[in-house]
Amino acid sequence: MEILTLQNICFSYGKVPVLKDVNYRFETGKMYCIIGRSGAGKTTLLSLLSGLAKPDGGSILYDGKDVAKLDKYAFRSKYIGVIFQSFNLLTKFTAVENVMLSMDIAGVKGKNKRQRAMELLAGVGLDEDEANRRVLKLSGGQQQRVAIARALSYDPQIILADEPTGNLDGETQKEIMDIFRSLAQQGKCVILVSHSPEVAAACDEKYELQKLSGKKEPKEKAAS
């Protein structure tokens, strides 16, 4: 089932074009990889997909509805789970509190939120002790798992991950990719943004972004 569609997406930083006429389709139950060289606009595209930025032209359709017409906060908190490259976790909170807060923001109802959060953390391989630890006291891989659990906390259809294996060792990379694979098998649409050929090879489909001519590297980098 097609869940996310990009129609003629254009984006530029000032007069410097970054994305032009991008047309991608994403379905549930599949793993996608958006690859490209540095400066090709991968992170910019991820920002557009996650609702943090608006395209200059074209439209993004979520389940057939124009994202621009949806409440951007509701879109971010309920419909799409984003795993940022630097995880963007609340460092003063514990792993389980991060997940629970995400549920609260999404408006998830129910009394056993803590138990659900613990289950999600267990699902990504964190035990109870790790779940109750402050995020800053967790390793990069563990933080990545917390970020994944947080993205899954409100059960979105789309999981978006920016360089999910960038800072991880080989073994952990494999474990993380296995989690994404299982999520796709559970019917989620998993979109990974990466420059790694290994990650691209592990996905069902890949979209390659080409660096547009005249694009200035520093500006795109600053924004991403």
Partner 1 sequence: MYLFKNALKCIGRAKGRNILIGIIALVIAVSACIGLSIRQAAESAKAETLEGMSVTAKISFDRQSAMQGMRPSADGASGGTQSGAFDREQFRTLMNGGTSLTLDEYQTYAAAESVQDFYYTLTAYFDGSDELEPVSSESETESESSAGAPGGGMSPGRTKGDRMGNMATGDFTVIGYSGDNAMTAFQTGSTTIADGVVFSEGTTERQCLISEELAAYNELAVGDTVTLANPDSETETYTLTVAGIYKNTEANDLSVSMFGVGQDPANQIYLSAAALQGILDASASASETTTDAATGQETETAVGSSLSATYVFADADAYHRFEEEVRTLGLDDSYTVSSADLTAFENSLTPLNTLSTMAGWFLLVILLIGAVILIVLNIFNIRERKYEIGVLTAMGMKKGKVALQFLAEILVVTMAAILIGAGIGAVSAVPVTNALLANQVESQQSSQLQLENNFGRGGNFKGGLQTAPDNLPTGGRGGFAALGQNVSNYVTEVNSAMNLTVLLQLLGIGLLLTLAAGAVSVLFVMRYDPLKILANRD
Site for partner 1, residues 147 to 186, rule: CB under 8 A: 150
Which residue in the set 74, 115, 139, 198 belongs to the binding site for partner 1 (CB under 8 A)?
Answer: 74
Q: Total number of residues binding partner 1 (CB under 8 A)?
A: 30
CB contact at 8 A, 17 and 214? yes
CB 208 within 8 A of CB 42: no
Closest-CA residue to 159 (of 46, 64, 65):
46
Q: Would you say 92 and 134 are in contact if contact means Cβ atoms under 8 Å apart?
A: yes
Nearer to partner 1, 206 or 220 (CB): 220
Q: Which is nearer to partner 1, 73 or 139 (CB)?
A: 73
Say how far apart CA 87 and CA 222 lie, in whole Å. Answer: 18
Q: How far does the chain reach from its first CA to its final CA, in angstroms?
A: 30
Question: What are the tokens at 85?
Answer: 């490259």
- Chain positions 44 to 73 lying near partner 1, rule: CB under 8 A, are 47, 50, 52-53, 73
Distance CA 118, CA 112 (A): 10
* Residues with Cβ within 8 Å of residue 155, at least 6 apart in sequence: none
Q: Which is nearer to partner 1, 24 or 87 (CB)?
A: 87
Decide: is 106 part of the binding site for partner 1 (CB under 8 A): yes
93 touches partner 1 by CB under 8 A = yes
CB of 71 to partner 1, least distance (A): 9
CB 125 within 8 A of CB 178: no
Can residue 12 be called a binding residue for partner 1 (CB under 8 A)? no
Residue with token string 């947080």: 150
| Rounded least distance, CB 147 to partner 1, Å | 11
Considering only residues 34, 82, 176, 189, which one is a binding residue for partner 1 as defined by CB under 8 A?
A: 82
Return the number of the residue (202 or 220) whose C-beta is nearest partner 1.
Answer: 220
Identify the residue among 2, 104, 169, 178 touching partner 1 (CB under 8 A).
Answer: 104
Could you give the CA distance from residue 47 to residue 18 in angstroms, rounded to a whole number? 13
Which residues make up the interface to partner 1 (CB under 8 A)? 43, 47, 50, 52-53, 73-78, 82, 84-86, 88-90, 92-93, 97, 101-102, 104-106, 150, 222-224
